[in-house]
A and B are shown apart, each in its own frame.
Chain A
């Protein structure tokens, strides 16, 4: 049971508090802030991220999520599956993102009435109630100019007159009565490459994590079937609630009724066989002398199907004791700032390229008569990609 929520600003002040069960006094926040500062004082390189997600206090277990500078703190008294609490706490900023476009202290303050209503609907007496953005939007209207005009121009949502959200279609994730003039659906296949490459250029671990971000603008209750050219590539995957698991198991197709608007249809993982698949090769050579060190880092491209690699960024963290630093690049530009660590972080971006080779084949639509426009875009970028020096 999730009893209360405190959203704390980066300085540890309560921005918003909500109690779904009994009141939990604010003292608990002070205790939490003390614990955090204590933990962070332990070592030089301890950051806020290193603070434990569950902190025990005499009476409560302080379950906290730290995201985008804000802390979502939920003190619980009794045994509860912590994962459920984390999952729920992460949904809150997800939904706020969906509603307000960004999440920050100011955004919450600017929309706190809406946030309050959302929190009220998302949880009932400690149990999650409605967490689907599409259903929520039926109950709590998202702030947009049109809504604002309607409410201000006298047409206040009178209980009897306004055509109430008939809401709650039988599919919790899709609202009923959606209508578009042009029916379109867009799939963005974004693949992130996670890799650890050792100093000889050999990949210690290497895999592609893909997500299919979908933007659906289809009328009515379309029932879609999306098939891939090569679904067997997928090693492991997870789906949006709307996807029929069994169809994937049996036919390796995605069969689903899409929610309206943006959603993540599928996440998948593809194991990449060897380092040859990596689009970028980084070879560091480090010479440490008595009066300093020289880092030579060679970056070369491979295997991108002729697609250009963009936004290549190398981060080479140096120890805090570094005094001076000069950096030179043959191509592009360099910035110098000292930090601590021992690995080179790599970022890059390749448009219209999927490293795993996963390709969308056909989209079929049932249950509605129109022909939708289907847009597919692919992109490969570096995820947790690091090279050991």
Chain B
């Protein structure tokens, strides 16, 4: 009785307790049931700080979460909350995934500062590495490798080794990501890590391989010999990798190819056409309906027609280019650009037209991406303008384009102008001149000048257009067009007389000082051919001298000097005009003008002997920046001349050499493209965009002079051994396949039989379609565990097999470490296995 009483009593008290607990829990939990708004965590004052510690120690998940969220809010506000480290680490083994994730974020942020405390968390991670959920395993390794505490590098190493054999491709991906992190922690581990990488390179999951290649690029970028056996497989897998993996893979394959193949770019289709055709037909008849199998490909260059043209390309290189081609259709702009890079640096020049259209497509995206693409197009177009010349319309400027886009488009338009599109481009450029933006107008006019000098056939119509513009009401337009004309004329002395006569006619209407100065200079320079016009120009100039600008005055003086030098003192009018100008200049306000007058007077009329250094009055012409600077530099020159008078020692009579001094031929200005120099950088690199070497830039290796042994790839393909990675193609899928799917192309012999011959060498590479077939293999954790169990069994047997058949397969990939580890894994999976089997049984029943 008493017992029953006591029992009832305890029962009721328990019930009360329980109900209270439940109530508490609900109250606790519902307190925060409003629609997700985390903003309130962001306002943190000192009181709240104290509360955080309490929260973290709370038994309620909710409060812990609150505390953690508050901490993360403070991290994001840039406050140092490392003092909470001990309180946070306590929660690392929390049952709640949400709590854990936040703890991880915190630990990753502060582990470096609190190294000792961070070690406390390691145990949990190690335990988690054996968790049956792949996400937890992956997360554990990620955080562990992310803790930047050098002491733990051996543990991280162990973790990586454990995870590279994981069944889940996601975990293996994370393991690959952990490799460079481990390397940074402890560079001494390099050799061991390299071993891991070389085994992981055999991984056939497209999900994982990109990250493995990333690790390769980070840890041992120079060990290209490891790539030999995998080269063709990588090419084949390229299209199915994830986008970021594709970028890494292309980078690597580009470097690899630059060291392994001879340069096809220089080689043209020099071979007799008949021979090429003959070969083509043979190839066609042989492999007419099978163009996807690589093993065939390696034996001969069967590929699409464009590539058959150049059979000087190594078949392996051609295969890479072919595999990369579809990626031009990727939605990821960097992938597109990477393929463009590949084609620019590897493919024969005649293939590069393929990259034009996709690159142009990128112009219709965000302005930042446009910026990079346009920079790269500039670089590509300056070497191979024909890639883009048919797309000129896409480079037309819209009024909504930002400044930097506008300028790049103008550069490109001038680069890709050809005889066939120049009329459209010129018309478009003339449209830009109407813009209200002065800088843009200036550049448009310069662009017209560039076009004219690039395409001599069009120079005439360009000049005509420029001449029209020089009458413009807008001073800057007029000035710029005269400057552009002047530059063009210097390059094409034949046209000058007519043009200059035209210009002088316009002189009365042109008011812009810079434009006038340029015309005066032109007349002076070509005065020998303008014997009727030139003196008249000087007359007009003398009349208006007082009202001219300084730069014009200087040029008028020079013009006078030149005319006198040309005709000697024979023509009285000219001489008188010149003296008049000199007198005007003598009392000018500007010392530069006075200086120039004094100098010219001495030069032309001076009988005294003066010292001569090299005098180049018109050295300004080498200047390509803009006209204003030119006149400045002329002044500068005048000073230099003065100095030269003082310091040089030679003495001679200058007036004897006056013609040579004043009327020497001036070198035509070199029209340097503003984008000049970009093409030396790798396509797509930051250095190219900024047009200077950025720290860490690595140029591409030069092509080898002698063909490296091409058989390394072929040989390796046959040797591609039943390494332990390959044994389990599809990771966990084999068993699943065997049970449920009986996939057609999986040979019943299991993994091994497939790798025996060369023909099957690449079958193992998982394609998208294969993915699909096996896509449901991990849909339930139960199944996963099943497969894990079975595979580990299978592994043991296959190990034995391998030992016996090692001689024929030639495998040497497996090493002792892995075996040890597999034992570990096997035991752990046994432990785990108990639970899931029960569950499966239950379900099956």
By a CB distance below 8 angstroms, the chain B residues around A241 are: 242-243, 330-331
Query: B434 contacts A113, CB within 8 Å?
Result: no
Query: B781 contacts A152, CB within 8 Å?
Result: no
By a CB distance below 8 angstroms, the chain A residues around B697 are: 79
CB within 8 Å of A: which residues of B? 25-26, 29-30, 32-33, 35-39, 41-42, 61-62, 69, 72-73, 76-78, 94-98, 100-102, 104-105, 108-109, 131, 133-136, 142, 146, 168-170, 173-174, 177, 180-181, 207, 211, 214, 239, 242-244, 247, 326-327, 329-334, 336-338, 357-358, 360-361, 364, 366-369, 371-373, 393-394, 396, 398-400, 402-404, 428, 431, 434-437, 684-687, 689-690, 694-698, 768, 771-772, 774-781, 784
Query: A245 contacts B327, CB within 8 Å?
Result: yes
Query: B326 contacts A249, CB within 8 Å?
Result: yes
The interface bits of chain A over 88-116 (1 if a CB of B lies within 8 angstroms of the residue's CB, else 0) are 01100000000000000010011111101
A388 proximal to B (CB < 8 A): yes
The residue in chain B whose Cβ has the minimal distance to the Cβ of A7 is B76
Query: A79 contacts B686, CB within 8 Å?
Result: yes
Query: B775 contacts A171, CB within 8 Å?
Result: yes
Q: Which among B33, B696, B772 is the interface contact of A79 at CB below 8 angstroms?
A: B696
Query: A78 contacts B25, CB within 8 Å?
Result: no
By a CB distance below 8 angstroms, the chain A residues around B776 are: 169, 176, 221
Query: A244 contacts B97, CB within 8 Å?
Result: no
Query: B329 contacts A152, CB within 8 Å?
Result: no
Query: A166 contacts B780, CB within 8 Å?
Result: yes
Q: Complex Cα distance A89/B368, Å?
A: 10
Q: Which among A125, A171, A257 is the interface contact of B180 at CB below 8 angstroms?
A: A125
A281 proximal to B (CB < 8 A): no
By a CB distance below 8 angstroms, the chain A residues around B61 are: 156
The residue in chain A whose Cβ has the minimal distance to the Cβ of B181 is A125
CB of A225 to closest CB in B, whole Å: 13
Q: Which among A17, A87, A149 is the interface contact of B369 at CB below 8 angstroms?
A: A87
Query: B100 contacts A159, CB within 8 Å?
Result: yes
Q: Which among A76, A162, A237, A245 is the interface contact of B239 at CB below 8 angstroms?
A: A245
Q: Which among A46, A53, A78, A158 is the interface contact of B97 at CB below 8 angstroms?
A: A158
Q: Complex Cα distance A18/B106, Å?
A: 12
By a CB distance below 8 angstroms, the chain B residues around A67 are: 366
Query: Closest 5 CB pairs between A and B?
Result: A78-B696, A245-B326, A205-B393, A79-B696, A53-B368
- Interface stretch (choices A126-134, A326-334, A350-358): A126-134
CB of B236 to closest CB in A, whole Å: 12
Query: A386 contacts B244, CB within 8 Å?
Result: no
- Interface stretch (choices A181-189, A302-310, A337-345): A337-345
By a CB distance below 8 angstroms, the chain B residues around A127 are: 177, 211, 214, 244
Q: Complex Cα distance A124/B244, Å?
A: 12
Query: B684 contacts A257, CB within 8 Å?
Result: no
The residue in chain A whose Cβ has the minimal distance to the Cβ of B341 is A81
Query: A167 contacts B134, CB within 8 Å?
Result: yes
A288 proximal to B (CB < 8 A): no
Q: Complex Cα distance A7/B333, Å?
A: 22
Query: B326 contacts A168, CB within 8 Å?
Result: no
Q: A124-B177, A386-B398 are in contact. List 17 more A-B contacts (CB 8 A).
A: A49-B402, A61-B686, A64-B368, A79-B685, A81-B686, A87-B334, A110-B39, A112-B41, A112-B76, A125-B146, A152-B29, A152-B33, A159-B94, A159-B100, A166-B780, A169-B778, A204-B428
CB of B457 to closest CB in A, whole Å: 23
CB within 8 Å of B: which residues of A? 14-19, 26, 45-47, 49-50, 52-54, 56, 61, 64-67, 76-84, 86-87, 89-90, 106, 109-114, 116-117, 120, 124-125, 127-129, 131-132, 138-139, 143, 145, 148-149, 151-154, 156-160, 162, 164-172, 176-177, 194, 196, 198, 204-205, 209, 221, 223, 235-241, 244-246, 248-249, 257, 264, 267, 269, 317, 319, 340-343, 345, 367, 384, 386, 388
Q: Which among B72, B326, B337, B371 is the interface contact of A113 at CB below 8 angstroms?
A: B72
Query: A157 contacts B35, CB within 8 Å?
Result: no
Query: A159 contacts B357, CB within 8 Å?
Result: no
Q: Complex Cα distance A78/B697, Å?
A: 8
By a CB distance below 8 angstroms, the chain A residues around B108 are: 120
Q: Complex Cα distance A106/B42, Å?
A: 11
By a CB distance below 8 angstroms, the chain B residues around A238 are: 329-331, 336, 358, 361
Query: A205 contacts B396, CB within 8 Å?
Result: yes
Q: Which among B336, B400, B403, B690 is the interface contact of A46 at CB below 8 angstroms?
A: B403
CB of A57 to closest CB in B, whole Å: 12
Query: A342 contacts B400, CB within 8 Å?
Result: no
The residue in chain B whose Cβ has the minimal distance to the Cβ of A138 is B135
Query: A342 contacts B435, CB within 8 Å?
Result: yes
By a CB distance below 8 angstroms, the chain B residues around A151 are: 98
Q: Complex Cα distance A131/B695, Å?
A: 28
CB of B363 to closest CB in A, whole Å: 10
Query: B431 contacts A111, CB within 8 Å?
Result: no
Query: A148 contacts B369, CB within 8 Å?
Result: no
If the complex has contacts A82-B689, A246-B326, A248-B329, are A236 and B399 also in contact, measured as CB distance less than 8 A? no
The residue in chain A whose Cβ has the minimal distance to the Cβ of B148 is A22
Q: Complex Cα distance A210/B284, Å?
A: 37
The residue in chain A whose Cβ has the minimal distance to the Cβ of B42 is A109
Q: How many A-B residue pairs have CB under 8 A?
A: 293
The residue in chain A whose Cβ has the minimal distance to the Cβ of B397 is A196
Query: A170 contacts B207, CB within 8 Å?
Result: yes
Q: Complex Cα distance A46/B696, Å?
A: 33
Q: Which among A47, A170, A249, A343 is the interface contact of B771 at CB below 8 angstroms?
A: A170
The residue in chain A whose Cβ has the minimal distance to the Cβ of B697 is A79
By a CB distance below 8 angstroms, the chain A residues around B778 are: 166, 168-170, 176
- The DSSP consensus for interface residues of chain A is mixed
Q: Complex Cα distance A343/B400, Å?
A: 9
20 residue pairs A–B, Cβ–Cβ below 8 Å: A16-B76, A52-B371, A54-B371, A79-B695, A113-B102, A117-B105, A125-B146, A125-B177, A132-B242, A139-B135, A152-B33, A153-B30, A158-B95, A159-B131, A167-B170, A176-B778, A196-B396, A221-B775, A343-B399, A384-B400
Query: B394 contacts A205, CB within 8 Å?
Result: yes
Q: Which among A129, A143, A246 is the interface contact of B36 at CB below 8 angstroms?
A: A143
Most buried by B among A82, A165, A264: A82
Query: B361 contacts A239, CB within 8 Å?
Result: no
CB of A138 to closest CB in B, whole Å: 8
If the complex has contacts A194-B364, A241-B242, A384-B400, are A116 and B72 also in contact, measured as CB distance less than 8 A? yes
By a CB distance below 8 angstroms, the chain A residues around B104 are: 120
Q: Which among B142, B169, B694, B775 is the interface contact of A61 at CB below 8 angstroms?
A: B694
Q: Complex Cα distance A76/B135, Å?
A: 30
The residue in chain B whose Cβ has the minimal distance to the Cβ of A177 is B779
CB of A6 to closest CB in B, whole Å: 10
If the complex has contacts A79-B698, A139-B135, A245-B327, are A171 and B772 also in contact, measured as CB distance less than 8 A? yes
The residue in chain B whose Cβ has the minimal distance to the Cβ of A46 is B403
If the complex has contacts A143-B36, A159-B97, are A239 and B331 also in contact, measured as CB distance less than 8 A? yes
CB of B194 to closest CB in A, whole Å: 18
Q: Complex Cα distance A153/B337, Å?
A: 49
If the complex has contacts A151-B98, A156-B61, are A54 and B687 also in contact, measured as CB distance less than 8 A? no
CB of A178 to closest CB in B, whole Å: 10
By a CB distance below 8 angstroms, the chain B residues around A319 are: 436
CB of B461 to closest CB in A, whole Å: 19
Query: B73 contacts A90, CB within 8 Å?
Result: no
CB of A114 to closest CB in B, whole Å: 7
By a CB distance below 8 angstroms, the chain B residues around A384 are: 398, 400
The residue in chain B whose Cβ has the minimal distance to the Cβ of A192 is B364
Query: B779 contacts A164, CB within 8 Å?
Result: no
Q: Complex Cα distance A117/B106, Å?
A: 11
The residue in chain B whose Cβ has the minimal distance to the Cβ of A142 is B36
Q: Complex Cα distance A149/B751, Å?
A: 47
Query: B366 contacts A86, CB within 8 Å?
Result: yes
CB of B380 to closest CB in A, whole Å: 14
Q: Complex Cα distance A76/B115, Å?
A: 26
The residue in chain A whose Cβ has the minimal distance to the Cβ of B367 is A49
If the complex has contacts A83-B684, A159-B100, A204-B396, are A111 and B38 also in contact, measured as CB distance less than 8 A? yes
Q: Complex Cα distance A237/B371, Å?
A: 21
CB of B428 to closest CB in A, whole Å: 7
